[in-house]
């Protein structure tokens, strides 16, 4: 009986460790649409947090423009997923062409349309450059989901509208 309990505990521990390790290298493709982490028993916090903001230094853009995007936080976090989305239909748009250390590209619908984390190192302030498509797509917003710890996250924190 004790042997069965130990084996069960060992199997459960190995499953949890392998599941946690799977997300330590960034968001999975299953998060592309809703930007929600796929962790076990995570606790979603309101997207109206007061410590993470997404900024651009422009209020409008033209097709093909490069737009600087800065994520600022007053607390450390381990993981993130960043996307630009059309205001009109919420579709992911454009590509990221500059990434800071502590980030990597992810292909949700087209190469480089999403950025995520490559590891669990603590992050705070990150700067990116997004390239608008060459064809008009309308107004956009940037969205970021932040994972503070394996069990605590904020989904789809949004920037101000960047008009076209």
* Residues 71-109: tens digit of each pLDDT: 999 999 999 999 999 999 999 999 999 999 989 999 999
**What is the rounded average pLDDT of the residues 128-137?**
98
HSE value, Cβ hemisphere, 13 Å, CA-based, for 140: 28
pLDDT in tens, 12-57: 433 433 333 344 556 666 569 778 776 555 555 655 666 899 999 9
Residue 96: its pLDDT value, please?
98
| Domain ranges (residues) in the chain | 25-162
Q: What is the pTM of this model?
A: 0.79
- What gap in Å lies between CA 17 and CA 63, rounded to an integer? 44
In CATH terms, the superfamily for domain 25-162 is: Reeler domain (2.60.40.4060)
């Amino acid at each position: 009986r004790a042997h069965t309990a130990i084996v069960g505990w060992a199997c459960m521990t190995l499953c949890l460790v392998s599941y946690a390790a799977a997300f330590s290298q960034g968001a999975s493709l299953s998060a592309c649409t809703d930007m929600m982490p796929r962790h076990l028993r995570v606790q979603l916090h309101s997207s109206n947090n007061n410590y993470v903001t997404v900024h651009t230094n422009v209020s409008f853009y033209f097709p093909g423009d490069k737009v600087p995007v800065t994520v600022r936080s007053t607390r450390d976090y381990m993981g993130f997923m960043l996307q630009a989305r059309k205001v009109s239909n919420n579709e992911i748009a454009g590509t990221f062409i500059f990434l800071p250390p502590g980030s990597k590209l992810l292909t949700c619908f087209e190469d480089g349309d999403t950025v995520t984390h490559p590891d669990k190192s603590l992050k705070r302030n990150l700067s990116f450059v997004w390239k608008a498509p060459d064809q008009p797509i309308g107004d956009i917003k940037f969205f970021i989901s932040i994972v503070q710890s394996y069990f605590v996250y904020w989904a789809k924190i949004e920037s101000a509208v960047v008009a076209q």
